[in-house]
Chains A and B, each alone.
Chain A
Amino acid sequence: MTRNVRFVEDRITLKYGTGGGAMRALIEQVFAQGLGDIGREGIGLSAMDDGAAIWLGDQYLVITTDSHVVQPIEFPGGDIGRLAVCGTINDLAMMGATQPLALTCAAIIEDGFARDDLKRIWSSIRATCEEAGTTVVTGDTKVMGHGEIDGLVLNTTGVALTKRVVSDAGLRPGDRILVTGTMGDHGLAIMATRNELALETQLESDVAPLHTLVHRALEVGGEDVVALKDPTRGGLSSALHEMADKSGVGIILDEPEIPLRDEVRAVGELLGIDPLVSANEGKAVFGVRPDAAASVLDAIRSHPLGRNAAIVGECVTDRPGFVVLDTGFGSRLLAEAEGELLPRIC
């Protein structure tokens, strides 16, 4: 983890919330310090995975939590409520737990927030829970003063049971990297609504619950699915860097194979934002043993949310912890997002 030594500032700035190296360094240096172990078989905070897994003797209890801040709170393709439900269901699924038992939801609301807006967000939460076959079982409400918080913050926690946990650290050289669909849709859809350039776009967030897709892939791939991660903040780049770093492999990414909507590519160029560092809220990254890659790809493609899935890369022994982008013209190292590229995005 030597790449993180430079993140030691006295103040926490926006870059520590971008899901990249600065945030991982903060977790290592502050949050994960001095906490008790959860037992040999479990996965705790120090693993910095998408969630925790507690061994119950015959299966794992998986638990994960996520706070959501997005501006605007209603955006093309979704809203903060759908985002909060999907985000937590997806984090459970990225641990291999594809049957979410229940969620909690805490709301922190700004003084003066419109009741109608809140009701609309809550009905979106209900609808998304129904779609995903789960529900909210408890919650918490706080109101803060005007200007002390921007509209609405939602926190959701989810629990699920699973026999097998899939980490994000199981890659070895030769393994293939799969993505379940087009990259960067959520982040660029949000940016396009905010940007001063007054873009006219059809861009929509991809926010969606992925547990049934992951379930189908795990049924086919079984033990050959060795790593899972959802490329949210920091996009595909951050997800792959984290997987490469923890697994001690290098990753070569074939840029021409990465599914990208033409409009995402074009808007990304206009705004100077690489879709590969832009957030996704309905996509997953799979690490799969080479022999199973084709059958897992077929399984993912058979799911409605995985029709654009593709094999986009390969793990290598060279340059562990780094991601090399083969552009089709040449190659370069892929950089991680740093700084306040897209604050309040998910």
Chain B
Amino acid sequence: MKSADAFEQLKFRDPERARGLRDALHRLVQRADHAPVSVMHVCGSHEQAIAKFGLRAAFPDELKVIMGPGCPVCVTDVPEVDEAVALAKQGVRIASYGDMLRVPGTSQSLADAKAEGAKVDVVYSVTQAAELARQYDEEFVFFASGFETTAVATAAVLVDDPPDNFSVLSAHKYIPPVMEIVAEMPETKIEGFLAAGHAATITGSAVFEKFVERHELSVVIAGFEPLDVLAGLVKLLEVINSGVPRVENAFPRCVTREGNVQAQNLLWRVFRPTGGRWRGIAHVPNGNLRLRDEFARYDTRKRFNIDLSAIWSYAPPKLVQQCQCGDIMAGIASPTDCQLFGKECTPESPVGACMVSAEGTCKIWHQYGGRPDLRSMKRGAA
């Protein structure tokens, strides 16, 4: 990879244009017939951009931008982690993304199991996992996490004749159904969603049209540079103020109405949606992606008898009981509402999943200084 490739994105970081968008946000919030206006994003990458560029300090006081369940690692449910840990402790070789290793299950994380001698590998992609599987003569399980974007990559490997010893323990999740759940949560009173530009590149903007009809809530698709986020919020407030809920695409340089049809076909050829729990949030109908029967021979759950009984008799430690990750992912609480944040719970020794993953709200806030509200800072000597 050439580092020059990364220069391109810098043009979406012009502070001059940002000031214009910021002013527009303030004007639009003033024009709303009520305060505050609450909107939600459902993507860790959006929170990354907001935190890294200090955007929260520039938002109008009357605009609440709530962090939703936007981190696939964080919403991986405890029993899903338990399945991987149990398999690892049964002696099966497991590979997963680095973040997934440290997500706590009921009694242990995969990293704990590894420290006790289990065969656990870190991989950067599903392709790498399949290549690695070819080097072993034993069963090789890929513990797969991620939203529909990452699930397509997993699907691509499964249709491309993976090695016989390779199987997938899917913890993949599908974002649109969870939006239905949080849209109806009484605690948040959301008036619109900022949808993730990368996921919409695959699903297309049309996937949200039914949602808008059902919930009368607007959806604006936005990218991840600071100007993308600000432009997305401006568009969202315009739509909310108009009183006519609809889907708008504020990331047209990547997203179309139809999306990537080839990727969608691949996704649904390999996966089927099924209901399941999202950690800390709720049972989400059609929120989990599991392998279809045609791919049963690559389905870890069909291939192994996973015995969870030993794990479930374990009582979670006290700190875990104080962890507020669930409320944080549901958008009800902020990291700073949690007593453990930055004290007992840090990226070095995380208590909850939100502090583990690079897309977890707690990890992001911690990385970028811990407290977002700096509106009151004054310059010059007192």
Contacts and interface: CB of A to CB of B under 8 A. Distances in A.
Interface of A: 6, 15, 172-174, 197-201, 250, 252, 256, 262-263, 265-267, 269-270, 272, 314, 316-319, 324-335, 338-339
Contacts of B3: 199-201, 263, 266-267, 270
A330 B1 contact: no
B382 interface: yes
Contacts of B22: 329-330
B7 to A, nearest CB: 6
Contact of A200 (B2, B343, B346, B367): B2
Given A199-B3, A269-B6, A316-B377, A331 B57 contact: yes
A197 B378 contact: no
Given A199-B3, A332-B57, A6 B374 contact: no
A334 B51 CA distance: 11
A219 to B, nearest CB: 27
B2 to A, nearest CB: 6
B132 interface: no
Given A316-B381, A329-B53, A331-B377, 15 more contacts: A199-B1, A200-B1, A250-B377, A272-B358, A319-B377, A327-B15, A327-B226, A328-B15, A330-B22, A330-B57, A330-B58, A333-B368, A333-B370, A335-B368, A339-B348
Contact of A324 (B7, B367, B377): B377
Contacts of A256: 15
Interface in B356-382: 358, 366-372, 374, 376-382
A318 B57 contact: no
B55 A329 contact: yes
Contacts of B53: 327, 329-330, 332
A226 to B, nearest CB: 14
A189 to B, nearest CB: 12
B10 interface: yes
Contacts of B382: 173, 316-317
Contacts of A173: 380-382
B111 to A, nearest CB: 15
Contacts of B87: none
Interface string B1-34: 1111111011001010010001000000000000
Contacts of A326: 54
Interface of B: 1-7, 9-10, 13, 15, 18, 22, 51-59, 226, 230, 343, 346-348, 358, 366-372, 374, 376-382
A329 B58 contact: yes
A335 B366 contact: yes
A6 B347 contact: no
4 nearest CB pairs, A to B: A333-B369, A328-B15, A330-B58, A330-B54
A318 B381 contact: no
Contact of B377 (A252, A267, A328): A252
Contact of A331 (B9, B358, B374): B374
B348 A331 contact: no
B381 A317 contact: yes
Contact of B4 (A15, A266, A314, A325): A266
Contacts of A272: 358
A173 B379 CA distance: 9
Contacts of A201: 3
18 contacts: A6-B343, A15-B348, A250-B377, A262-B7, A265-B10, A269-B9, A270-B1, A316-B381, A317-B381, A324-B377, A329-B15, A329-B54, A329-B226, A331-B57, A331-B374, A334-B369, A335-B370, A338-B347
B381 A324 contact: no
A200 B22 CA distance: 37
B273 to A, nearest CB: 32
A317 B9 CA distance: 36
A318 B56 CA distance: 19
A172 B370 CA distance: 25
A18 to B, nearest CB: 11
B55 A266 contact: no
B91 to A, nearest CB: 28
Interface-central residue, B1, B13, B230, B379, by most chain A CB under 10 Å: B379
Contacts of A266: 3-7, 10
A331 B226 CA distance: 13
A330 B15 CA distance: 9
Contacts of B343: 6
A262 B54 CA distance: 21
